[in-house]
Structure 1
Amino acid sequence: MVSHGSLARLWPPRGRWADAMPAGGVFILAAAGGLRSLIGERQQPWPVTAFGWAMIAAACGALWFRRRHPVAVALGVLAATAAYYLTSAYDGPLLVAFVVALYTVAARGRTWAAVALAALSVLAVGAGTLEGNDDVNGVGLFMLAGWLVAVIALGRARHTRLAYVHEVEQRAAGEERLRIARELHDVIGHHISLISVQSSAALHRIRKDPGQAETALAAIKKSSREALRELRTTLGLLRQVDEEAPTAPPPGLARIGELVESARTAGFEVRAHTTGEPVPLPTEVELAAYRIVQEALTNVARHSRATAVTVHVGHAPREVRIEVADNGRGPDRTAPGSGISGMRERARALGGELTAGPGPDGGFAVRARLPHRDGASWQA
């Protein structure tokens, strides 16, 4: 018994099967319609019959290459089909081969070439009608034109849909790359900045105050271990399907105390407080809040020359407000980096907002508002 997964892998056909199946199907249809030329009463000489079968084989065989050379194949199929109908006394369904080729031209985005081919075929059939071909009258010619226009429209619709799907996939891939890059920037940037500050302190104090230097080196070891742990968790997003997925929970508001403690070990006076009634938050809100506080503290360590930092987390109905303010001079706008823009992107992705600029009492302040649903309604 064939499983649904097996059928999904076989259909739609891909690669060589996608080339062979239409060519084979049209050949079977045309051959079935041309069997009268091999059995029953003869209406034409055998050489003419052989030529007709050669045209059937040529038109159907050309369909194998229709995706690689759509316009050339359509021209060849049109020529073979015309030769068949002009010489054969038996009207078979070989016109289907040209319809398939014409559809492929339109589906590959060559709309004007498809229109030109359709017009050429209608003009050829019309010329035959004027020359006395009783098999096709004016009504039949009109219906043929309508069918060809419909085929071109279907092919064009197929091309438009594939282009749209490709654009959506490219956009999703770009957004995923930006998300991963933002995670890596936040994880690595924060800890490396703390390590830089702590190592500088250790170098200055190693001779004068070995005890302080030892404390700084211990903080460096802790920051390095934490950076490695978070890096492994982030890189787990890139694991293959058959690899073991990371089991560590993503960071959230419950771990902001760790960020505060790391900043204190780097020599800052940090005051942290929470207001409002905490409620269960969606994972993406927890992660965004943590990363915003992390990146704000990273900017303080890198650029502000501050000595004191205040971290405030306020819980309000259906939103979380975050503020990280220092008494320094703020980040250097000429310095390379994308920390503030990354924080702003995180807030906007959740429908919130983030501002960063001079505080009312000097220094620099980062303020974010992250809307959310309450935990019960989110999980329902």
Structure 2
Amino acid sequence: MALPSRALGGRVSPRAADAAVALVVALVVVVWVLVQSRHTTESPVRTLLGWALIAAGCGALCFRRRAPVTVAVVTLAACAVYYPLSAYDGPLMIAFALALYTTAAEGRFAAAVALAAVTLLAVGLGEIRQRPGHRQIDDTSLAMLAGWLISLVAIGRAQRTRTAYLHEVEQRALAAEREQEARARQSATEERLRIAREVHDVLGHSISLINVQSGAVLHRLSKRPDPEVALAAAEEALRAVRATSKDALRELRSTLGVLRRADEAAPTAPASGLGLLGELVARAGAAGLDVRTEVTGAPVPLPPPLDLAAYRIVQESLTNVTRHSGARTALVSLDWGPRELRLRIEDDGEGAPEAEPLGSGIRGMAERARAFGGELTAANTAAGFRVDARLPLTVSEGDLR
């Protein structure tokens, strides 16, 4: 993990930042040596070698983040040769200090500790070997040097920890943002599917009944009956069409109202439920289908979404019977148990072709049942076709949304 370059405004590359730091350190060392050269003299060979060591130590800082351990070793070696050799005693130690800090900050903590220990031991041994009265660093300065080296390593380690923490926080924020976007897309997809099912069930049922009713009266009129009989049949069919279309418009307005009022709360109760089962059966009867209902057990109030789902399953089943099966009779059974409601819709029609997959209407009914923790099956029987749904009476709050 690289050190952050925000200290320089966050607009320069790490390489340019390292080059700038190396240039600043070199300027400090050069100015210091030039000032001291006015008061101290040494041989040209030592002076030339000293400048070469300064160039090597400061130039190595250009690579301090790409090769932190190597740069620290190079700057330490340059200092180890420079200080015993040069009479100017310039601040080249700054280069090693910065390299040691970078080594710890780049995660090479063990190497940084080892280099600090080697530096302290080398300086200590060098001073011990000096003759009495010729020591360059006393015990107090040696202790200060130890504290200085420990501080550099500790600050570098702290910077490494801080950088890692900021990186983790940033990654968590990005992950949370991606998760939020994924949830939003999933919610939007689920809402579109829910609205699509509602529109399909409402319009599919009503338009199918209107089509059957219109087709029936046209068939009767094609036989040229008595005018009074024809007028009565047409009037009956038109009344059924009007009632069916009125119910379809009411339910469609209720469904589309959620889209029109995006800033308002959702309706507290669905437009339809099992309480309107009688009207649903009557509309199917007006289309020529003889529908009977059987209720066993003790009915209980259902949560509005679950009530709507049960209603839609019966509605879509009767739509399929009216549209596809050619059945004459149908039986809608409601079995109220202590823990679940069992819906069964059976007809005496031709059933579904075995080779063809079930349509989107049955898939939509199955999705409704699964949304509440239930299940739905649809299959041919010896007498026709059967839809069997199981809906738990106890559902979680998440299923009711």
The two structures have a TM-score, normalised by structure 1, of 0.66
Indicate conservation of the 8 Å contact 2:299/2:336, yes or no: yes
Say which SS state the counterpart of residue 122 (structure 1) adopts.
Answer: coil
Indicate conservation of the 8 Å contact 1:328/1:363, yes or no: yes
Alignment RMSD, CA only?
3.1
Indicate conservation of the 8 Å contact 2:68/2:106, yes or no: no
Match of 2:54 in 1: none
Match status 1:202 vs 2:164: no
Match status 1:166 vs 2:181: yes
Match of 1:144 in 2: 106
Task: Give the letter aligned to residue 196 of structure 2.
Answer: A
Between the aligned partners of 1:311 and 1:350, the Cα distance in structure 2 is 21
Say which SS state the counterpart of residue 134 (structure 1) adopts.
Answer: helix
Indicate conservation of the 8 Å contact 1:347/1:368, yes or no: yes
Q: Summarize deviations over 1:343-367 as a string: whole Å, max 9, x none.
A: 11111111111111123x5111111
In structure 2, which of residues 9, 16, 19 is the aligned counterpart of residue 83 of structure 1? 19
Relative to structure 1, the CA distance from residue 123 to residue 169 in structure 2 (aligned partners, 3 Å threshold; closer, same or farther) is: same
Say which SS state the counterpart of residue 96 (structure 2) adopts.
Answer: coil
Match of 2:284 in 1: 263
In structure 1, which of residues 321, 331, 343 is the aligned counterpart of residue 365 of structure 2? 343
Q: How does 1:116-195 map to 2 (within 5 A)?
A: 122-132=65-75, 133-136=95-98, 138=100, 141-145=103-107, 146-147=160-161, 151-195=166-210
Match of 2:237 in 1: 216
Gaps of 5+ in 1: 1-22, 31-55, 63-75, 91-119
Percent of residue pairs bearing the same amino acid type: 44
In structure 2, which of residues 307, 313, 335 is the aligned counterpart of residue 292 of structure 1? 313
Match of 1:33 in 2: none
Aligned length: 280
Indicate conservation of the 8 Å contact 1:354/1:368, yes or no: yes
Relative to structure 1, the CA distance from residue 159 to residue 248 in structure 2 (aligned partners, 3 Å threshold; closer, same or farther) is: closer
Deviates most, 287-296 or 178-187: 178-187
Indicate conservation of the 8 Å contact 1:233/1:248, yes or no: no
Q: Which runs of 4+ in 1 moved over 6 A?
A: none
Match of 1:367 in 2: 388
Between the aligned partners of 1:198 and 1:180, the Cα distance in structure 2 is 27
Larger of the two Rg values belongs to structure: 2
Q: Summarize deviations over 1:224-265 as a string: whole Å, max 9, x none.
A: 111111111111221233469667743111011111000000
Relative to structure 1, the CA distance from residue 318 to residue 336 in structure 2 (aligned partners, 3 Å threshold; closer, same or farther) is: closer
Say which SS state the counterpart of residue 330 (structure 1) adopts.
Answer: coil
Match of 2:260 in 1: 239
Q: How does 1:23-172 map to 2 (within 5 A)?
A: 30=7, 56=8, 59-60=9-10, 62=11, 76-88=12-24, 122-132=65-75, 133-136=95-98, 138=100, 141-145=103-107, 146-147=160-161, 151-172=166-187
Task: Give the letter aligned to residue 104 of structure 2.
Answer: F
The two structures have a TM-score, normalised by structure 2, of 0.62
Gaps of 5+ in 2: 27-62, 76-94, 108-159
Relative to structure 1, the CA distance from residue 247 to residue 320 in structure 2 (aligned partners, 3 Å threshold; closer, same or farther) is: closer
Relative to structure 1, the CA distance from residue 242 to residue 164 in structure 2 (aligned partners, 3 Å threshold; closer, same or farther) is: closer
Task: Give the letter aligned to residue 205 of structure 1.
Answer: R
Say which SS state the counterpart of residue 88 (structure 1) adopts.
Answer: helix
Task: Give the letter aligned to residue 142 of structure 1.
Answer: A
